[in-house]
Structure 1
Amino acid sequence: DRTARVIREISPDVIALQEADNRFGDRAGLLDLARLELETGLVPVPVSGNGKGHGWRGNVLLFKRGTVRDVHQLKLPGLEPRGALVAEIDLDEKRSLRVIAAHLGLLRRSRSEQARVVLDIMSSADERPTLLLGDLNEWRLGNRSALNTLHTTFGPTPPAVPTFPSGLPVLALDRIMGNRHGLVSGVEAHDTPLSRVASDHLPLTAFVHL
């Protein structure tokens, strides 16, 4: 209920959620997707072979407008069961958008390897507009960051916006990044009384210019 209410506060066109499924057991989904669609107009990007789960390794990607043309479910390397969901969305007859929803690992070495896997799906810097968003679990900046390998495609790491812990955010664990200059702007934490108790992370929001 809290998650649904925060999503209504944000009123997004596209949103990525992490840990939307139980981590153990049958990995059943934790959301009421039918209710979310009714109240927000958002529909989930479909995933396959996930049983009772709503997403791929906990990643759920929802969008308001357009048609999903292709979906890839990436297994990311590391000790933990991490993954990324990649969706190609045709917004209309002329415009398309690739969205990568990812949840990277807690270990720095794993994050470095996982970032390289994400880059493998990007064949060149002039590809279609692409967003990378999610809990990337990296608070280090500059040369110490495990996300440095992403610079070749996504440019310099965007300004750090603290999102964790939600009650008193000091670490910038979440990111919204674009592969083109000016694609993403206005990145900020959605800090409201409800968002502080709905999750241990504050939601991160941004404007996308196509």
Structure 2
Amino acid sequence: MSVRVASYNIRKAVGLDRRRDPLRILRVLEEIDADVVALQEADRRFGTRESVLPQVLLENHTDYEAVPLDVQVDSMGWHGNAILVKKGIALEEHDIIHIPCLEPRGVVTARLSVRGRRLSVFGMHLDLSGLWRTRQARAIADLAAAASESHATVLMGDLNEWRARAGTFREFAKHFSILDPGPSFHAARPVGRLDRIMHCERLAARDCGVHRSALAARASDHLPVWADFDFA
């Protein structure tokens, strides 16, 4: 039993050519072909904060459904964080999590049934401040650790962490294995390993990486990261 997950900061669907092109983002997701995707910056920042990936495009151009977060009518996510799942994956539970923050930040979570196996997913986009990132990591890790006591758990997102030995990683490492898919930022010349995937011992990582394609190199300022897992 295996599952592929991915994390992608889509920068509100604005590419390096400064064009907002949601269909281009969806084509990148099609290239990755993950079962579950955590998105960051999936909503516009101001006004009604509507989703940058219209529902009609999801329905007509992908096999994905957005986890309903019941926050704002026109938004896909919570502070820009969203979760997409392939059609056929059952949604058992979903929630939003308030975390300590300097900037507007939040975490989204869903409990899924993937080919008969239960999987909890936590999607996040952490603060630019190192002090606040560490506090956020501690709060998220504690909540996710509770989920991992009963079923497989994966955490992923844009951690905004440049330092390999930062407090952010120390907090997550208390409970989870931290994968390093590779440099994913900036898409034009990737050097920052900001996008990470973490997992509990109920999942065995088979492979992980950064999705590099001509389309992904233009679609956002981040490249997507992915990981393949076997259920232990």
- TM > 0.5 fold call: yes
Shift of 1:153: 1.1
| Number of aligned residue pairs | 207
Distance 1:52 1:190 in 2: 29
The answer to whether structure 1 residue 136 and structure 2 residue 159 are counterparts is yes
What amino acid sits opposite 1:47 in the alignment?
A: L
**Structure 1 residues 181 and 141, CA, compared in 2 at 3 Å: closer, same or farther?**
farther
Distance 1:119 1:18 in 2: 18
Unmatched segments (≥5 aa) in structure 2: 1-22
Distance 2:164 2:184 in 1: 15
**Structure 1 residues 185 and 107, CA, compared in 2 at 3 Å: closer, same or farther?**
farther
**What are the Cα deviations for residues 74-118 of structure 1, in whole angstroms up to 9, with x where unaligned?**
1221111111111001224x4110000111111101111111111
The structure that is strand-richer by fraction is: 2
Distance 2:147 2:62 in 1: 35
**Structure 1 ranges of 4+ moved more than 3 A:** 124-127
**Structure 1 residues 23 and 124, CA, compared in 2 at 3 Å: closer, same or farther?**
closer
The answer to whether structure 1 residue 206 and structure 2 residue 222 are counterparts is no
Unmatched segments (≥5 aa) in structure 1: none
Shift of 1:123: 2.1
Quote the residue 1:17 is aligned against: 39
What amino acid sits opposite 2:132 in the alignment?
A: S
The answer to whether structure 1 residue 40 and structure 2 residue 62 are counterparts is yes
2:195–2:225: 8 Å Cα contact kept in structure 1? yes
Sequence identity of aligned pairs in percent?
36
1:177–1:184: 8 Å Cα contact kept in structure 2? no
Shift of 1:181: 6.5
- Aligned-residue CA RMSD (Å): 1.7
What amino acid sits opposite 2:172 in the alignment?
A: L
* RCO comparison, higher one (Cα < 8 Å, 6+): 2
Distance 1:40 1:158 in 2: 27
**What are the Cα deviations for residues 39-77 of structure 1, in whole angstroms up to 9, with x where unaligned?**
221111111131311111101101113211111101221
State the secondary structure of the residue aligned to 1:127. Answer: coil
